[in-house]
Amino acid sequence: MPSQNFKEIIDGFKKAKVLVVGDIIVDHYIWGKVTRISPEAPVPVVEVSKEDFIPGGSGNVAHNIQALDGNVYLCGVVGNDSLGERIKGQLQNLGIDTGGVLVDEFCSGTIEKTRVIANIQQVVRIDREDRQLKNKKVISRVLEYISKMIPQVDGVIISDYGKGLICPQVLTEAIILAHKHKKVITVDPKVEHFLKYKKVTCITPNTLEAAQGIHYPLPRTQEETEKLGELIIKKLKCESLLITQGEKGMTLFNQGKKAVHIPTMAQEVFDVSGAGDTVISTLTLALAAKAGLLNAAIIANHAAGIVVGKVGTATCTPTELKQSLRRG
């Protein structure tokens, strides 16, 4: 496909509207340097230079869409705490519609992943999270919001981090409504819910998630990966499947068509945090902008190649994406 057509698709992002439904996480980064080992234990001493609080999970999916000039509506849950207020304010400042970001007064707090980065290397990650299913009142409000928004958008992303929001009721209702209104619906999956993502437009697992999701041996060759993909398509009856394979790139499966392998575009890999978020957000935004499935996957592959070359949870811009596509 000529690069000019890719440019037209990316320029069309400005008109596309995407609803993101999923688990909102705060990515807390502590940056510093290590010059010595602690005398108390054989661990590095990190001298902190700065801290960042960044939207993660479905918040990062929404941020990726916003960074690519798409129109994004986020539906998720935060705790009734200062961290929840902080991240909701950041999302609003980014230009993300937070009308569907709800406060759950009964959860223990907003989900937070703290990563300590020293000398550009991650030293440790600390998770604070509430994995309980959200209360019925919150789920009812989520269902009400997605029912209102799906007719108004071009695409829906289910961003499942297994933190409780994507329960069977929410997933089923979102898929039914997307089909009813003829909308694109894609899923970034969680292994324990894998068999419930039936009849969606596209699902984007990595190789491990794909294998574990249907209790299949981890593929060692491209041939085995293709066999795995064909089994998933058959079992889930989804329109398509995009298996991301790290440094090997990704493989696209489309019902009734031969699998297409797309080599990675990453020049350097500093941090894979959030790369899956970039794939699902870019793929869905491109589909919402009326790109064909293969072209959408190629664009998503380039976007992923850009963000893994950055440290921390990252996004890419339309300019970076166009430049990468021109380079081929």
Query: What is residue 43's three-state secondary structure?
Result: coil
Token pair in block for residue 1: 């496909």
| Tokens 């440290």, located at residue | 311
Neighbours of 200 (CB within 10 A): 24
Q: Is 132 helix (H, G, I), strand (E, B) or coil?
A: coil
The sign of the dihedral angle between the CA atoms of 162, 163, 165, 168 is: positive
Q: Are 78 and 60 in contact (CB under 8 A)?
A: no
**How far apart, in whole angstroms, are the C-alpha atoms of residue 48 and residue 66?**
30
Catalytic residue among 27, 160, 188, 277: 277
Chain position carrying tokens 């380039």: 302
Helices (H), strands (E): how many in the chain? 10, 13
Cβ count near 24 (within 10 Å): 32
How far lies 73's CA from each of 59, 111, 175, 218, in Å?
10, 20, 17, 36
Contact between 138 and 168 (Cβ < 8 Å) = no
Active-site residue, 277 included? yes
Q: What are phi and psi of 184, to 5 degrees?
A: -65, 135
The CA distance from 196 to 265, in Å, is 31
How is residue 38 written in tokens? 């602690």
Catalytic (active-site) positions: 277
